[in-house]
Amino acid sequence: MTLARRAFALALLVAAGTALAQSPAPAWPQKPIRLVVPFAPGSSPDILARILNDKLGARLGQPVIVENRPGAGGNSGTDAVAKAAPDGYTFGLPVNAPLVYNSILYQGKLPYDPFRDLVPVSFLAATPNVCVVPTSLGVDSVRGWIEALRRKPGQMNFASTGNGSISHLGIELIKIKTQTYALHIPYNSSGAAVQAILQGDVQFACLPAVSVMPQVKADKMKALAITSAERSPLVPGVPTLRESGLPDVQAFPWFALVAPRGTPAPIVERMSQEVNAVLHDPAAQAQLRSAYFDPVGGPPATLATLMSTERARWKPVIERAGLKPD
């Protein structure tokens, strides 16, 4: 073979290798996508997931199937996401606690590390927590609520959606600021916590608006305040804790989309773009707001920053309150 022929053959081999290296990756997705919600059906994250899944599936061209994996305050389902194959077919929709606070509460004993084993995809939405009491308690303001706590130290119980949840931490912060005491009784969902209030098992709670506002509208509960920094158009007429004399208490649920660490970056970026498109769709926004969700959205970097700042903000509260795992 002449030198020219050898050079020509080598050029063909190089060209073939280059073409192979530049060939497009297989189209994604090619099969249904699993969306793990680490809480029970009917919970706030579950409601959000079921509002998003059909519209998201339509954009992706494959069904998005919601899978409820409740247990251990959201840790079980979040762990299942962290340990799933990073192939772009498993995502998780956790909330504050299993994504941030439990990494402090469990002191290295979580079966996963949310900052190491999960990759942020998108900040999804937030919702106001509403502090409520049963109307039978005869309390109609935050001031009256705190006075009742002081008159009856240790005689009032409060519900939460789990140990270390934002519905728990928010009240622990209120207790610290007001130097009051009440017994914490955790439940596995906001629905169960609401039933506990209605049955008289507990005397108050700060729970997601979607769970309590139907009871407020039915005059079975009194909405005292929301735990957000500003008033929310989702619950017009309900003041903030800051307006009610507790300026340093802000504690609201937020929801995120995450994937197992190692999920290909192009898939993470595509999923982030598609879910943000759904969140900015006017019809989806109307549906979300009717369920008391504020569709915020944001790229992976926004969620990563939120996780870090929330961990720094709540770590001293968890430590000062001496909170431990169940």
pLDDT in tens, 48-66: 999 999 999 999 999 999 9
Same-domain check for residues 261 and 198 = no
Question: Do 122 and 271 fall within a single domain?
Answer: yes
Q: Give the 3-state secondary structure of 157-210.
A: EEEECCCCCHHHHHHHHHHHHHCCCCEEEECCCHHHHHHHHHCCCCCEEEEEHH
In this structure, the answer to whether residues 56 and 97 fall within a common structural domain is yes
Model confidence at 10: pLDDT above 70: no
Determine the length of the chain: 326
Report the distance separating Cα 115 and Cα 108, nearest Å.
12
Do residue 91 and residue 120 come from a single domain?
yes
Inform me whether the pLDDT recorded for 22 exceeds 50: no
pLDDT, mean of residues 292-298? 95
- CATH number of the domain that 279 lies in? 3.40.190.150
| Same domain, yes or no: 118 and 133 | no
177 in a structural domain: yes
Q: Are residues 119 and 266 in the same domain?
A: yes
Confidence category of residue 11, pLDDT binned at 50, 70, 90 = very low
- Is 144 in the same domain as 106? no
pLDDT tens per residue, range 66-101? 999 998 889 999 999 999 999 999 999 999 999 999
Please state, in angstroms and rounded to a whole number, the distance separating the CA atoms of residues 303 and 258: 9
pLDDT at 153: 84
Residue 231 lies in a domain: no
Q: Is the pLDDT reported for residue 23 higher than 70?
A: no
* Confidence grade of residue 320 (pLDDT, cut at 50, 70, 90): confident
Which CATH number covers residue 145? 3.40.190.10
Same domain, 189 and 276: no
Residues spanned by the domain of 82:
33-126+253-320
- Residue 122 shares a structural domain with residue 263: yes
Average pLDDT, integer, range 154-176: 93
Q: Is residue 8 part of a domain?
A: no
Count of the separate structural domains present in the chain: 2
Average pLDDT over residues 276-303: 96
Return the pLDDT at 249: 86
In a domain, 165, yes or no: yes
Residues 121 and 259 in one domain: yes
